[in-house]
């Protein structure tokens, strides 16, 4: 994709490219999970192989810690669908690293702080840290709704 002019790459796709590059440079094993619609018999239908709300990138760190990354266009903010919010929340509550990413420097800083807390045996603090970074607004049936935690 290096030869494709950036004007033909969507902002979210650029975040994906940057995040995958960051992951590779830092020893992560990340896979793309595309829950977008697919074409079957000339019709656009939901991708039956990926559950609604599943993060865009799923994998693990070099330490073997699970990572779930929901990618967003930096200009559109960090609003996500309620299914995505619930998916990330469940993963964080099970002590995984889960985050909405629209900027790789934010991802890098967040990962470092979270990993530091984990290494200090502050699992509850690490969990609360990530929960506090979840979006405060979600989409429910096409409407933006404030989340109260």
Mean pLDDT of 82-97: 97
Query: Exposure pattern of 100-132 as b/e (b: 16+ CB <10 Å)?
Result: bbbebeebeebbeebeebbeeeeeeebbebbee
- In this prediction, residue 48 carries a pLDDT of 66
Q: Which of 50-59, 60-69, 95-104 has the lowest mean pLDDT?
A: 50-59
Vertex 111: Cα angle to 53 and 20 (nearest 5) = 65
- In this prediction, residue 5 carries a pLDDT of 58
* Cα maximum dimension of the chain: 54
CATH number of this structure's domain 6-146, picked from the four choices 3.40.50.970, 3.40.640.10, 3.40.1350.10, 3.40.140.10: 3.40.1350.10
Checking if the pLDDT of 49 tops 90, the result is no
Vertex 84: Cα angle to 82 and 85 (nearest 5) = 60
| Domain boundary assignment for the chain | 6-146
Q: Which residues contact 122 (CB under 8 A, 6 or more apart)?
A: none
CB-based contacts of 39-44 (< 8 A; 24+ apart in sequence): none
Checking if the pLDDT of 77 tops 80, the result is no
Q: Which residues contact 112 (CB under 8 A, 6 or more apart)?
A: none
């Amino acid at each position: 994709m290096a030869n494709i002019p950036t004007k033909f790459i969507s902002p979210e796709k650029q975040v994906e490219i940057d995040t995958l590059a960051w992951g590779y440079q830092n020893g992560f094993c990340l896979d793309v999970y595309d829950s977008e619609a697919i074409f079957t018999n000339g019709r656009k239908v939901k991708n039956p192989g990926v559950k609604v709300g599943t993060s865009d990138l799923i994998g693990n760190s070099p330490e073997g810690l699970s990572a779930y990354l929901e990618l967003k266009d930096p200009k559109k903010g960090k609003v996500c669908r309620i299914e995505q919010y619930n998916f990330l929340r469940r993963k964080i509550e099970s002590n995984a690293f889960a985050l909405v990413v629209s900027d790789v420097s934010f991802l890098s800083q967040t990962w470092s702080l979270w990993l530091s807390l984990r290494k200090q045996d502050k699992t509850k603090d690490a969990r609360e840290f990530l929960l506090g970074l979840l979006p405060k607004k979600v989409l429910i049936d096409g409407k933006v709704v404030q989340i109260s935690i």
